[in-house]
């Protein structure tokens, strides 16, 4: 995470300033506010603003005049009920804004989540930094032979070294060409320099970009349920994991309900439930006669730890 001294000083100054407010604030999230949580080799996530807290979810659900909160146990019971029954709108009353620095190929996956407000660093207006994501050796995996969207064993020895060298060399070379085409400050007086909006097309997808990303709590939880999941690619999952820490600090009761009913839960189809009922009744059930496909069967058995 390469933050400059100036950027660190700006963050520190922002963290030192306080202002009185009547609005709900959350001390645990205030402690994190503006701090950059490092992700990957040069990336980060930092919370730059938020609105609401667990109380705001309860307040909206009860349509109260005041804070709407009762005893912590009652509030937490209500939040669990809302989460369990997918009553989503009370969670939309809370909002959070992140500043994220991430490789372009991760940004491409992330931007598919449409229910958010995004403003990205403009590579038409500004020059991209010379920063590329190079995986740590333990994350340099082979293509999975069983899952076309997944990874297999970690590459070893000469092959790993070759891949890392190719990634570094290609990114460096294309960046050198990018800088040469831009010809900033007239480095070569015989050339005009290509427009920034065109020169950038030559950069590799592991080049870092940045954006501000704002979402309400409901849609943030949808994002996290998909991207903090083991099926998500490692490089986006680590961002989701960092954001989960912010959610835990911000809305601990909602976070607890979310980890219970969404992250730790399994959805069973009617056919799967029927199999579970037969298993509980002590009936021997085989995949072929279960009505489930091989894949469904394997997923169910894995979920049941069988």
Ligand X SMILES: Cc1cc2nc3c(=O)[nH]c(=O)nc-3n(C[C@H](O)[C@H](O)[C@H](O)COP(=O)(O)OP(=O)(O)OC[C@H]3O[C@@H](n4cnc5c(N)ncnc54)[C@H](O)[C@@H]3O)c2cc1C
114 part of the interface to ligand X, by CB under 6 A:
yes
Q: What are the DSSP calls for the chain, one per residue?
A: ----HHHHHHHHHHHH-----SS---HHHHHHTTPPEEETTTEEEEEEEEE--HHHHHHHHHT-SS-----HHHHHHHHHHHHHTT--GGGGG-EEEEEEEEEHHHHHHHTT--SSEEEE--TTTSPPPS-B----GGG-EEEPSS-TTSEEEEP-HHHHHHHHHHHHHHHHHHHHHHHHHHTGGGSSTT-----HHHHGGGS-TTBEEEEEEEEEHHHHHHHHHHHSSTTS-HHHHHHHHHHHHHHHHH-HHHHHHHIIIIIT-----HHHHHHHHHHHTT----STTTT--HHHHHHHHHHTT-
- Options 59, 206, 207, 219; binder of ligand X; rule CB under 6 A: 219
Q: Candidates 23-31, 113-121, 151-159, 176-184 — which segment interacts with ligand X by CB under 6 A?
A: 113-121
Q: Candidates 67-75, 91-99, 168-176, 218-226 — which segment interacts with ligand X by CB under 6 A?
A: 218-226
- Options 32, 51, 118, 226; binder of ligand X; rule CB under 6 A: 226
Q: What is the closest distance, in whole angstroms, from the C-beta atom of residue 267 to ligand X in the complex?
A: 14
Q: Candidates 27-35, 39-47, 90-98, 109-117 — which segment interacts with ligand X by CB under 6 A?
A: 109-117
262 part of the interface to ligand X, by CB under 6 A:
no
231 part of the interface to ligand X, by CB under 6 A:
yes
Q: How far apart are CA 43 and CA 100, in angstroms?
A: 7
* Contact pattern for ligand X over residues 62 through 101, marking x by CB under 6 A: ----------------------------------------
Q: Which of 46, 196, 200, 227 is catalytic?
A: 227
- 22 labelled catalytic: no
Q: What is the closest distance, in whole angstroms, from the C-beta atom of residue 106 to ligand X in the complex?
A: 12
Q: Are 256 and 263 in contact (CB under 8 A)?
A: no
- Options 59, 69, 207, 222; binder of ligand X; rule CB under 6 A: 222
- Options 13, 115, 154, 304; binder of ligand X; rule CB under 6 A: 115
- Options 40, 61, 232, 244; binder of ligand X; rule CB under 6 A: 232
Q: Which is nearer to ligand X, 196 or 227 (CB)?
A: 227
Q: Which is nearer to ligand X, 12 or 111 (CB)?
A: 111
What is the set of active-site residues? 227
Binding site for ligand X (CB under 6 A): 112-115, 219, 222, 226, 231-232
């Amino acid at each position: 995470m390469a933050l400059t001294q100036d950027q660190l000083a700006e963050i520190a100054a922002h963290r030192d300033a306080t202002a009185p407010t009547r609005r709900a604030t959350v001390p645990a999230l205030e402690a994190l506010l503006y701090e950059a949580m490092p992700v990957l080799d040069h990336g980060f996530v930092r919370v730059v603003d938020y609105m609401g807290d667990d109380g705001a979810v309860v307040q909206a659900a009860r349509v109260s005049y005041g804070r709407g909160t009762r005893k912590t146990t009652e509030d937490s019971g209500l939040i669990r009920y809302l989460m369990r029954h997918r009553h989503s709108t009370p969670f939309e009353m809370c909002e959070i804004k992140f500043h994220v620095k991430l490789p372009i190929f991760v940004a491409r996956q992330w931007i598919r989540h449409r229910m958010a407000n995004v403003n990205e660093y403009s590579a038409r207006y500004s020059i991209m930094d010379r920063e590329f994501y190079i995986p740590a050796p333990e994350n340099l995996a082979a293509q999975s032979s069983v899952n076309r969207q997944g990874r297999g064993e970690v590459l070893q020895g000469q092959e790993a070294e070759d891949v890392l060298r190719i990634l570094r060399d290609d990114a460096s070379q294309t960046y050198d060409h990018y800088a040469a085409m831009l010809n900033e400050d007239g480095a070569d007086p015989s050339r005009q320099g290509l427009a920034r909006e065109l020169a950038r097309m030559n950069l590799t997808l592991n080049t870092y970009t940045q954006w501000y990303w704002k979402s309400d709590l409901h849609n943030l939880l949808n994002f996290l349920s998909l991207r903090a999941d083991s099926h998500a690619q490692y490089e986006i999952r680590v961002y989701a994991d960092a954001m989960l820490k912010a959610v835990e600090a911000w809305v601990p009761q909602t976070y607890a309900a979310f980890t219970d009913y969404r992250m730790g839960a399994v959805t069973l189809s009617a056919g799967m439930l029927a199999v579970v009922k037969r298993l509980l009744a002590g009936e021997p059930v085989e995949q072929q006669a279960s009505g489930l496909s091989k894949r469904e069967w394997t997923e169910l058995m894995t979920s049941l730890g069988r």
